[in-house]
């Protein structure tokens, strides 16, 4: 009921981070690209195999003078994987403790999503992904999130001729080339979310992909091809970026690039140790392995590596501040990453967390700076107090987010500046487009 929303609103308002005057509205009215790198982890940035950079294009973008790159940014997905990343990035709501929020609640719930708010401010909103539209219930959920357009499998006939057994039958190079044609027709300003897929478990390769880059030699066959499909994704990204430059969109857009979640799961610890050149790995290393890149590029941004601790839940409030969209009364659980008072507590979906002081991973505690283990029962009083306070924040944030999603509480939250969406007005089929 609406009454349940009150304490949640109070909690969010008391934890909201005020915008940084240095960044507020500096990207107002610009196009926004949200470039979703499937299964792309932070360790790939500047990583080399036999002296060769796996991802030279993404490395260059990461170090570009106009890109702010976060190197303590974590994925916060649960079982919903890509769909959890999308739920966080488009709503600043967490996925669920189990299952997928898009699948369970995407069709029927009321949302006040980023795309919906942007479209009510004159933006055209579009999502691009080569899989079938029903995967993760996107075709229904996107209508609840206010996407004007959703370009899915039927819009990419060229890719169907590709090697079907690779990356969900979708080669990112073809997908991105064909997407460019659709992007060119979007009225500006637009919000375009582009979701790649070739770099997806179990990282099958075709001749082109395996000839372009050497596999690693851990002996674990799903791990060893990961750098090859990641390299292929990077090449595709590089081609897309050059198109953005020639089309002029590069300079009048904000370009977000992020990895949605880990590519190599915790079940491959031996192989991970070899990739990280360590004799053995601890839960501390596994926590670091949950980092994904998050980069914000705009021609008028002063770039640099930003060490702030944050995660996917924080992306939307950060975008709103950059675009100068007031968000002092939204039900969003994240904090603007560029705010000087951004709260550096990264909640993982299972209640673990990362802060600049302590990492909690699989129930074990570690000093973030040194990687040294912390035995909770032997810890100092102040350390115990810090851990307990952090845990209370994490649990409350996750619980309230779950309440909003499972209770569909946004249907009770009427804002004067937001019109409720009429879902039947949206139609994504090819013939009607």
- C-alpha 321/C-alpha 325 separation (Å) is 6
Using CB under 6 A as the criterion, what x/- string covers residues 36-75 for binding ligand GP9?
Answer: --x-------------------------------------
Residue 313 in contact with residue 353, Cβ under 8 Å? no
In three-state secondary structure terms, 305 is strand
Query: Among 65-73, 240-248, 255-263, 307-315, which window interacts with Mn ion (CB under 5 A)?
Result: 255-263
Cβ 298 to ligand GP9 shortest distance, Å: 26
Residue 254 in contact with residue 33, Cβ under 8 Å? yes
Is residue 117 at the binding interface for ligand GP9, with CB under 6 A as the rule?
no
Report the residue number, 265 or 364, with the smaller CB distance to ligand GP9.
265
82, 196, 205, 308: the active-site residue:
82
- The annotation status of 200 as a binding-site residue, yes or no, is yes
- Tokens 């990461």 identify what position? 62
Determine the distance from the C-alpha atom of residue 244 to the mean position of all C-alpha atoms in its chain, rounded to a whole number: 21
Is residue 82 at the binding interface for Mn ion, with CB under 5 A as the rule?
yes
Cβ 136 to ligand GP9 shortest distance, Å: 6
DSSP-derived secondary structure for 314-367: GHHHHHHHHHT---SS-------TTSTT----EE-TTS-EE-SSEEEETTEEEE
- From the list 147, 191, 192, 151, the residue with the least C-alpha distance to 175 is 151
How many Å from the N-terminal Cα to the C-terminal Cα in the chain? 38
| Interacting residue with ligand GP9 among 197, 223, 296, 298 (CB under 6 A) | 197
| Interacting residue with ligand GP9 among 173, 200, 231, 342 (CB under 6 A) | 200
Determine the distance from the C-alpha atom of residue 349 to the mean position of all C-alpha atoms in its chain, rounded to a whole number: 14
- The annotation status of 4 as a binding-site residue, yes or no, is no
The residue ranges of DSSP E strands in 27-159, in sequence order, are 31-37, 48-49, 52-53, 67-70, 73-74, 124-129, 149-151
Is residue 135 at the binding interface for ligand GP9, with CB under 6 A as the rule?
yes
The neighbour count for residue 177, using CB atoms within 10 Å, is 17
The two tokens of residue 11 are 């909690």
Cβ 240 to Mn ion shortest distance, Å: 18
Assess whether 330 carries a catalytic annotation. Answer: no
Is residue 195 at the binding interface for ligand GP9, with CB under 6 A as the rule?
yes
Cβ 82 to ligand GP9 shortest distance, Å: 3
In three-state secondary structure terms, 349 is coil
- C-alpha 290/C-alpha 86 separation (Å) is 17
- C-alpha 28/C-alpha 91 separation (Å) is 19
Report the residue number, 82 or 308, with the smaller CB distance to ligand GP9.
82
- From the list 131, 230, 226, 205, the residue with the least C-alpha distance to 175 is 131
Residue 179 main-chain phi, psi, to 5 deg: -65, -35
Q: Interface residues for ligand GP9 in 21-40 (CB under 6 A)? A: 38
Residue 195 partner contact from Mn ion, ligand GP9, none using kind-dependent CB cut-offs of 5 to 8 Å: ligand GP9
Strands 190-195 and 31-37: parallel
Cβ 372 to ligand GP9 shortest distance, Å: 33
Is residue 131 at the binding interface for ligand GP9, with CB under 6 A as the rule?
yes
In three-state secondary structure terms, 223 is helix
Report the residue number, 167 or 189, with the smaller CB distance to Mn ion.
167
- The annotation status of 66 as a binding-site residue, yes or no, is no
Query: Among 51-59, 180-188, 193-201, 228-236, which window interacts with ligand GP9 (CB under 6 A)?
Result: 193-201
- The annotation status of 231 as a binding-site residue, yes or no, is no
Give the torsion sign (CA, 138, 142, 143, 147). negative
Residue 123 in contact with residue 149, Cβ under 8 Å? no
| Interacting residue with ligand GP9 among 30, 81, 153, 297 (CB under 6 A) | 81
- The annotation status of 261 as a binding-site residue, yes or no, is yes
Report the residue number, 69 or 152, with the smaller CB distance to ligand GP9.
152
Is residue 100 at the binding interface for Mn ion, with CB under 5 A as the rule?
no
Cβ 76 to ligand GP9 shortest distance, Å: 14
Residue 372's contacts (CB-CB under 8 Å, 6 or more residues apart) are 366
Catalytic residues: 82
Q: Which residues are annotated as a binding site?
A: 38, 82, 200, 260-261
Binding-site ranges for Mn ion (CB under 5 A): 38, 81-82, 260
Residues near ligand GP9 (CB under 6 A) are: 38, 81-82, 131, 135-136, 195, 197, 200
Q: Which residues are annotated as a binding site for substrate?
A: 200
């Amino acid at each position: 009921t609406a009454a349940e929303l009150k304490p949640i609103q109070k909690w969010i308002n008391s934890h909201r981070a005020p915008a940084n005057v240095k960044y507020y509205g500096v990207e107002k009215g610009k196009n926004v690209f949200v470039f979703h790198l499937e299964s792309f982890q932070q360790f790939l940035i500047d990583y080399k195999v036999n002296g060769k950079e796996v991802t030279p294009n993404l490395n260059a973008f990461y170090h570009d003078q106009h890109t702010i790159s976060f190197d303590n940014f974590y994925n916060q997905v649960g079982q919903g994987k890509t769909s959890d990343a999308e739920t966080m990035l488009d709503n600043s709501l967490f996925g669920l403790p189990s299952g997928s929020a898009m699948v369970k609640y995407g069709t029927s719930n009321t949302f006040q999503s980023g795309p919906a708010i942007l479209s009510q401010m004159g933006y055209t909103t579009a999502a691009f992904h080569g899989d079938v539209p029903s995967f993760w219930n996107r075709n229904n959920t996107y209508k609840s999130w206010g996407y004007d357009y959703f370009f899915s499998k039927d819009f990419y006939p060229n890719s169907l001729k590709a090697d079907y057994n690779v990356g969900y039958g979708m080669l990112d190079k073809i997908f991105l080339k064909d997407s460019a044609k659709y992007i060119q027709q979007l009225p500006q300003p637009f919000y375009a979310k582009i979701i790649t897929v070739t770099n997806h478990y179990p990282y099958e390769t075709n001749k082109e992909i395996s000839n372009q880059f050497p596999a690693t030699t851990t002996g674990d066959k799903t791990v060893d091809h990961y750098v090859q499909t990641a390299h292929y994704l990077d090449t595709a990204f590089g081609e897309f970026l050059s198109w953005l430059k020639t089309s002029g969109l590069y300079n009048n857009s904000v370009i977000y690039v992020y990895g949605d979640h880990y590519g190599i799961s915790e079940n491959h610890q031996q192989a991970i140790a070899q990739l990280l050149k360590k004799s053995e790995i601890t839960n501390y290393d596994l926590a670091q392995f949950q980092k994904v890149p998050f980069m914000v590029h705009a021609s008028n941004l002063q770039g640099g590596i930003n060490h702030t601790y944050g995660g996917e839940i924080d992306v939307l409030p950060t975008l709103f501040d950059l675009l100068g969209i007031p968000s002092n009364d939204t039900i969003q659980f994240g904090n603007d990453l560029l705010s000087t008072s951004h709260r550096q507590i990264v909640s993982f979906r299972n209640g673990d967390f990362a802060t600049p002081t302590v990492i909690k991973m699989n129930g074990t505690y570690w000093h973030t700076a040194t990687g040294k283990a912390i035995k909770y029962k032997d810890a100092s009083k102040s350390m115990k107090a810090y851990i307990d306070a952090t845990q209370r924040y994490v649990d409350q944030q996750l619980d309230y987010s779950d309440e909003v999603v499972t209770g569909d509480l946004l249907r009770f939250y009427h804002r004067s500046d937001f019109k409720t969406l009429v879902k039947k007005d949206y139609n994504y089929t090819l013939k009607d487009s």
